[in-house]
Amino acid sequence: MQQFDVLIIGSGLAGLSLALRTATDKKVCLVSKRSINDTASNWAQGGIAAVLNDEDSIEAHIQDTLIAGGGLCDAAVTKMVAEQGKQAVEWLIEKGVGFTREQDNSGYHLTREGGHSHRRIIHAADATGHAVQITLSEKVKQHPNITVMENHIAVDLITTRKFGNKKIESTDDNACLGAYVLDNNTGNVLTIAAQNTILATGGAGKVYLYTTNPDVSTGDGIAMAWRAGCRVANMEFIQFHPTCLFHPHAKSFLISEAVRGEGGLLKLADGTRFMPEHDVREELAPRDVVARAIDFEMKKRGLDCVYLDISHQPLSFIEEHFPNIYKRCLELGIDISKTPIPVVPAAHYTCGGVMTDDKGRTDIKNLYAIGETACTGLHGANRLASNSLLECLVFGQSAAKDILEQANKPSPQLPSWDESRVTDADEEVLITHTWDELRRFMWNYVGIVRTDKRLSRALHRIHMLRDEVYEFYSNFKVSNDLIELRNLLQVAELIVESAISRKESRGLHYSKDHPSTELEPIPTVLEPSNYYSLLDRGDGGGKPQ
CB-based burial of residue 30 (10 Å sphere; 0-12 exposed, 13-18 middle, 19+ buried)?
buried
Residues 112 and 256 sit within 8 Å (Cβ to Cβ)? no
Q: Is 388 helix (H, G, I), strand (E, B) or coil?
A: helix
What's the CA gap between 299 and 77, in Å, rounded?
Answer: 38
According to DSSP, the β-strands at 306-309 and 265-267 are antiparallel
Residues 170 and 316 sit within 8 Å (Cβ to Cβ)? no
Exposure string of 340-355, with b = 16+ CB inside 10 Å and e = fewer, is bbbbbbbbbbbbbbbb
Helix 85-95, helix 128-142: angle, nearest 10: 60
C-alpha to C-alpha distances, 154 to 176, 219, 223, 380, 487, nearest whole angstrom: 14, 12, 11, 28, 11
What's the CA gap between 143 and 126, in Å, rounded?
Answer: 29
Return the number of other C-beta atoms located less than 10 Å from residue 525's C-beta: 15
CB-based burial of residue 3 (10 Å sphere; 0-12 exposed, 13-18 middle, 19+ buried)?
middle
Q: What are phi and psi of 163, to 5 degrees?
A: -100, -20
* Closest to 321 measured CA to CA, from 336, 307, 342, 308: 336
What's the CA gap between 58 and 49, in Å, rounded?
Answer: 11
In 34-159, which residue ranges form alpha helices assigned H by DSSP? 40-43, 58-68, 75-83, 85-95, 128-142
Which of 21, 112, 120, 287 does the annotation list as catalytic?
Answer: 287
Residues 370 and 199 sit within 8 Å (Cβ to Cβ)? yes
What's the CA gap between 229 and 295, in Å, rounded?
Answer: 37
In 204-337, which residue ranges form alpha helices assigned H by DSSP? 220-228, 257-261, 287-301, 315-321, 323-331
Enumerate the β-bridge partners of residue 179: 157, 192
What's the CA gap between 234 and 525, in Å, rounded?
Answer: 7
Q: What residues contact residue 456 under an 8 Å CB cut-off, 6+ apart?
A: 500
What's the CA gap between 27 and 22, in Å, rounded?
Answer: 8
Tell me whether residue 119 is one of the annotated catalytic residues. Answer: no
Catalytic residues: 287
